[in-house]
Structure 1
Amino acid sequence: MIWLSWRQFRTQALVGVGALAVLAAYLLHLGLRIRDSRAGYLARCQPQGDCAQAMAQFVGEYQNTLLILAGLLGLVPGILGMFWGAPLVARELEAGTHRLVWNQSVSRRRWLATRLLFVALAAAAVAGLASLLLTWAASPVDTAADDRFSTVVFGARNITPIGYALFAVTLGTVLGLVVRRTLPAMALTVLAFTVVQFGMPNLIRPHLMPPATVTRPMTADAINQVRGLGSITGAAVVRGVTVPDAWVTYTSELRTSDGRALDAGRFDDCLMSPPKTGATGTFGDTARCLGDLDLHVDLAYQPEHRYWPFQWLESAIYLGLSVLLGGFGLWRIRRRVT
C-alpha cells in the first residue's frame, strides 16, 4: 500500500519539493540579508546608547515583505488540502477505480488510512519546513517588533502550520469521500478551511487561556498613543491600546471614574468640537478634552510568555479535529460508500 500510495502521489510530491526548494533558497537569502541589516543598524546606534529608533527603522524595512510571506504561507495548508486532500479519494470514486482496489486483499479502511496518513504526513512536512525557514529568516524582525501574537504572524511561525496542514488535508479527503466529486470537493475544502481559519484567531484563540486584566487610565498622553478614536456605531471607544510584552484581546469602551460607559454625546463633543487649547500630539485638543474627564479603559490581555502554550494548544486543537475527521472517514467508507 505504501508503494502504491507513492506511485499515485509522486507527481504532487515532486511539485511540492520543487516549490519548497525555491522557497528555501529565497528565505535563506532573505534571512542572511536581514541579519546583515540588523548588524548595520546596531553598529550605527550603539555608540549613542539609544537604538529604539534604529530598531523601528529596521522593522519597517522588512515588515511588509515578511507579512506578505506570512500571508502566502497561510495559504499553503489550504492549497495542500485542495490539491492533495480533496482528490485523494474523490478522484478514485469518480473514476470507479476504487472497486479494483477493494477487490484485492486490502480492506477499505486500511486503504483509506494508509493513503490519508501518507499524504497528511507529506503535507505536514512541507508546511513544517516552510514555517521553520520563515521563522528563522524573520526571527530578528520578530524580536524587535514584538508582535508574535498578531493574527498573520502567529499562524505562519513555528508549529501551528503543521496542524493546519494536517487538518486541511484530512478535511479535503473526507469532503471528497462524502461529495464523491473532485471539483466540488476542492471548492468545499477551500471554503470550509477558510471559515475555520477565520474563526480560530477571532473567536477561539483569545480564549484558549484565561486572560489577565488591567485598568488603564486614559490621560491625554495615553490617548495620543492610541491608533484611533470612535467607531462606525458611534460608541466611545479607543483602538490600539497596548500593554508591554502582551497581546491585548479586549478593550472596553471609555469609562468614567464610577465605571459607567462615557456618554456618546459627550464623546462626540470632544471628538468633533473640543475646546481650543492649542494642545499638541496625535489628537491634539480632542485628547486634552477627553483626558480632562478622568476616563479609563478595562483591558484583557495574554502575556508574551504564553506564546508557546498557545502554539501547542492551537496545534493540538487542529490535530484533534484531524483525528475526528479521519475517524469519521473510516466509519463512512465502511458503512456508506459502495
Structure 2
Amino acid sequence: MIWMSWRQFRAQAVVGAAALAVLAGYLLWLGFDVRDAHAGYLAQCRPQGDCAEALARFARDYENTLLYLAALLALLPAVVGMFWGAPLIARELESGTHRLVWNQSVTRRRWLLVKLLVVGLGAVLVAGAASLLLTWAAAPVDAVAGNRFSTVVFGARDVAPVAAAGFALVLGTVIGLLTRRTLPAMALTGLAVVLLQFAVPNLVRPHLMPPVRADRAMTEQAINEARGLGSITNSATVRGLGVPGAWVTDVSELRTRDGRTLDRRAFDDCFSARDDPAAPATGQYGAAARCLGALDLHVELAYQPNHRYWPFQLLESGLYLLAAGVLTLFGLWRIRRRVT
C-alpha cells in the first residue's frame, strides 16, 4: 500500500523536490550574503561606537527581498492543498478507479490514511526545509528589525508554515472527497486556504494569548511618531503606534483625561488647524499634532511582547494540526459511510 501510494505520488514529489532545490540554492546564497553584509556594516560602525543607523540601513537593504520570499512561502500551503491534496481522492472518484481500489483487501479507511501519511510526509519535508532555510537566511535581518510578529514574517518562519501546509493538504483532500471533481476541488481549496491565511493573522492570532495593556500619553511628539491620523470615517484615531520589542494588536480612539472618546468636532478642528506663522509647528502633522497634544489626550494600547513569539508559534501550529486531525477523522468517516 505504501509503495503504491508512493508510485502515484512520485511525479508531484519530483516536481516539489526540484522546486525546493532551486529555492534552497538561492536561500543558501542569500543567507551567506546577508551575513557578509551584516559583518561589513558592523566593521564600519564599531569604530564610531554607534551602529544603530548602520544596522537600520542593513535591514532596509534586504527588507523587500525577504518580504517577497515570505510571501512566496505563504503560497506554499495553497499549492500543497491544490495540487497534492485536492486530487488525492477526487481524481480516483472522477476517473472511476476507486471501484477497483476499494474492492481489494485494503479497507477504504486504511487506504485513505496511508495516502495522507505518504503525501503528508512529503508536504512536511518540503515546507519544513523551505521554512528552515528562510528562517536561517533572514536571522540577522530579523534580529535587527525586531518585527517577528509581522503578518507575513510570522507565517513564513519556523514551524507555523509546516503546520499550515499539513492542514492545507488534509483540507484539500476532504474538499476533493466532497466535490468528487478535481478542478472544482482545486479551486475551492485554493480559495479556502487564501481566506484562512488572511483570517488567522488578523482574527485568530491576536487572541491566542491575553494581551498586555497600557496607556500612552499622546503628546505632540507622540502624535508625530504615528503613521496615520484619522480614518476613512474621520474618527478620532491615530494609526501605526509602536511599542519597542512588542507587537501592537489594538489601539483605542483618542481619549480625554476622564476616559471619554475625544469629540469628533474637536478632532476635526485640530485636524484642519493651520500653522501659526509666528511659531510654526514641526513634525509630519504640524499644527494638527500641536493642537491635539495640547488637549491632554491618551490612548489605550494592547500588545504582545516579542518574548511570546515561540508560544504563539506553537499555539498557532497546534490549532492547524488540531483542525487537520478533525478533518482527517471526518474524511475517514465520510469515505466509509457516504462515498460509493
TM-score, reference length from structure 2: 0.98
Counterpart in 2 of 1:16?
Answer: 16
Contact 1:55 1:144 in 2 (8 A): yes
| Cα deviations by residue, 1:247-272 (Å, 9 ceiling, x for unpaired) | 00000001111111111111111111
Q: How does 1:134-153 map to 2 (within 5 A)?
A: 134-153=134-153
Q: Give the whole-Å Cα distance in 2 for the aligned partners of 1:272 and 1:288.
A: 12
Equivalent residue of 2:248, what SS?
Answer: strand
Report SS of the residue matched to 1:314: helix
Partner Cα separation in structure 2 for residue 244 and residue 34 of structure 1: 24
Deviation sequence 1:289-326 (CA, Å, 0-9, x none): 11101000000000111000000000000000000001
Q: Percent identity?
A: 67
Report if the CA contact (8 A) 2:273-2:291 is conserved. Answer: no
| Contact 1:174–1:329 (Cα < 8 Å) also in 2 | yes
Match of 2:269 in 1: 269
Q: CA deviation at 1:36?
A: 0.6
3-state SS in 2 of match to 1:297? strand
Distance in 1 (alpha carbons) for counterparts of 2:38 and 2:268: 44
Letter matched to residue 302 of structure 1? Q
User: Shift of residue 130 of structure 1?
Assistant: 0.2
The C-alpha deviation readout for 1:141-172, integer Å capped at 9, x for no partner, is 00000000010000000000111001100000
- Aligned twin of 1:124: 124
Q: Distance between the aligned counterparts of 2:70 and 2:179, measured in 1? A: 32
Q: Distance in 2 between matches of 1:238 and 1:273?
A: 16
1:99-178 matched pairs, under 5 angstroms: 99-178=99-178
Q: In 2, Cα distance between the equivalents of 1:240 and 1:255?
A: 17
What number of residue pairs does the alignment pair up?
Answer: 338
Indicate the residue corresponding to 2:333 in structure 1: 331
8 Å CA contact 2:275, 2:286 repeated in 1: no
CA distance in 1, matches of 2:172, 2:16: 17
Q: For each residue in 1:100-141, what CA deviation from the matched residue of structure 2 results, as whole angstroms up to 9, or x when unmatched?
A: 111111000000010011111211111111000000000000
Counterpart contact for 1:90–1:176, Cα < 8 Å? yes
On the 8 A contact 1:223/1:291 being kept in 2, the answer is yes
What TM-score results when the alignment is normalised by the length of structure 1?
0.99
Instruction: Give the superposition deviation at 1:274.
Output: 3.9
Pairing 1:257–2:257 present: yes
Question: Whole-Å Cα distance in 2 between the matches of residues 52 and 253 of structure 1?
Answer: 32
Q: Is the 8 A contact 2:31 2:137 kept in 1?
A: yes
Which has the larger displacement, 148-157 or 113-122?
Answer: 113-122
One-letter amino acid matched to 2:51 = C
Answering whether residue 263 of structure 2 is matched by residue 296 of structure 1, we say no
CA distance in 2, matches of 1:285, 1:103: 79
Does the aligned pair in 2 maintain the 1:42–1:54 contact within 8 Å? yes
Moved over 6 A (4+): none
1:274/1:289 contact within 8 Å kept: no
Tell me the secondary structure at the aligned position of residue 289 of structure 1: helix
Q: Following TM superposition, by how much is the alpha carbon of 1:281 offset from its aligned partner in structure 2, in angstroms?
A: 1.5
Matching residue of 1:281: 283
* Aligned-residue offset at 1:48: 1.1
Q: Secondary structure at the match of 2:166?
A: helix
Deviation at 1:99, TM superposition (A): 1.0
Aligned-residue offset at 1:275: 4.9
Letter in structure 2 aligned against 1:238: V
Contact persistence 2:275–2:281 (CA under 8 A): no
Asked if structure 2 preserves the Cα contact closer than 8 Å seen for 1:275 and 1:289, the reply is: no
Matches within 5 A, 1:176-255: 176-255=176-255
2 CA distance for matches of 1:117 and 1:180?
A: 21
SS in 2 for 1:103: coil
Contact preservation (8 Å) 2:74, 2:161: yes
SS at match of 1:234: coil
Q: Are 2:312 and 1:310 aligned? A: yes
CA RMSD in angstroms, aligned pairs only: 0.8
User: 1:18-54: per-residue Cα shift (whole Å, max 9, x none)?
Assistant: 1000000000000110111111111111111111111
